[in-house]
Chains A and B, each alone.
Chain A
Amino acid sequence: MHGSYFSEIEKGDIISASLFLIIIFSIILSLVILKWLFPKRVSTSLLKGLIVASGILTIWEILSFLNLLNSVFLPPPSRIFSNIVYLWSIGFLQPQIFSTLYRLFYAFILALFSALPLGILISYFSRRFSYIESLVNAARVVPAPAWLPLSVLWFGIGHASAIFIIWLGCFFPIFLNTVAGVSKAEPTQVETVLTFGGNRLDVLVEVILPVSYQHILTGARIGIGIGWITLVTAELASVDIGAGLGWMISDSRILLDMTTVISGIVILGMFGMLTDTLLKKLEGLVQGWS
Chain B
Amino acid sequence: MAIVRNSIEQNTEILKMGKLNERTLTSIAKNAQNGNHVIAIENVSKCFFVYISHGEEVITEKRRWFSRRKPCELVALKDVSLNIDHGEFVALLGPSGCGKSTLLRIIAGFEFPSNGTTKFKGEEIKGPDPKRAMIFQSERAVFPWLTVEGNIGLGPRLQDMSSEERKERVAKTIELIQLKGFEKAYPKTLSGGMLQRVAVGRAIVNHPEVLLMDEPFGALDAQTRHSLQDHVVRIWQSIDQTIVFVTHDIEEAAYLANRVVVFTQRPGQIKEVVKIGLSHPRMRTNPEFIEYRNYLADLIKH
A interface list, Cβ under 8 A from B? 186, 188-189, 191-198, 202, 206-207, 210-211, 286, 288-290
Contact = CB atoms under 8 A, between A and B. Distances in A.
Which interface residue of A196, A198, A210, A289 has the most chain B CB atoms within 10 A?
Answer: A196
Interface stretch (B26-34, B125-133, B294-302): B125-133
A198 B186 CA distance: 22
Contacts of A289: 144-146, 186-188
Contact of A195 (B130, B137, B187): B130
Nearest to A209: B145
Contacts, number: 71
B270 to A, nearest CB: 25
Contacts of B146: 289
A210 B136 contact: no
Contact of B158 (A189, A191, A196, A211): A196
Contacts of B141: 186, 188-189, 192
A129 to B, nearest CB: 16
Contact of B143 (A189, A194, A198, A286): A189
A207 B110 contact: no
Given A197-B155, A197-B158, A207-B143, A192 B136 contact: yes
Interface in B114-171: 127-130, 132-134, 136-138, 140-141, 143-146, 154-155, 158-159
Interface size class of B (residues with CB under 8 A): 20 to 34
B158 A193 contact: yes
B206 A196 contact: yes
Contacts of B138: 186, 188
A285 to B, nearest CB: 13
Nearest to A196: B155
Q: Name, among A192, A210, A211, A286, the residue most crowded by chain B CB atoms within 10 Å (CB to CB).
A: A192
B16 to A, nearest CB: 35
Nearest to B159: A197
Contacts of B130: 195-197
Contacts of B187: 289
Contacts of A189: 140-141, 143
Nearest to A211: B145
Nearest to A193: B158
A191 B144 contact: no
Overall SS of chain A's interface: helix
Given A188-B137, A192-B154, 13 more contacts: A191-B128, A193-B158, A195-B110, A195-B130, A195-B134, A196-B158, A196-B159, A197-B130, A198-B158, A206-B154, A210-B145, A289-B146, A289-B187
Given A188-B140, A206-B154, A290-B188, A195 B133 contact: yes
B91 interface: no
A193 B80 CA distance: 28
A38 to B, nearest CB: 33
B143 A210 contact: yes
A145 B133 CA distance: 54
A194 B110 contact: yes
Interface string B79-114: 000000000000000000000000000001110000
A196 B154 contact: yes
A189 B151 CA distance: 11
A202 B188 contact: no
Given A191-B128, A192-B136, A207-B143, A288 B158 contact: no
Interface of B: 108-110, 127-130, 132-134, 136-138, 140-141, 143-146, 154-155, 158-159, 186-188, 202-203, 206
Nearest to B144: A289
A211 B146 CA distance: 11
A206 B188 contact: no
B43 to A, nearest CB: 25
Contact of B133 (A196, A202, A290): A196
A42 B202 CA distance: 46
A116 B21 CA distance: 56
Contacts of A211: 145
A198 B137 CA distance: 20
A195 B186 CA distance: 22
B141 to A, nearest CB: 4
Contacts of B136: 188, 191-192
A195 B154 contact: no
B116 to A, nearest CB: 22
A207 B150 CA distance: 13
A136 B23 CA distance: 64
B158 A186 contact: no
Contacts of B186: 288-289
Nearest to A203: B158
Question: Which of A197, A198, A206 has most B Cβ within 10 Å?
Answer: A197
Nearest to B186: A289
A142 B202 CA distance: 48
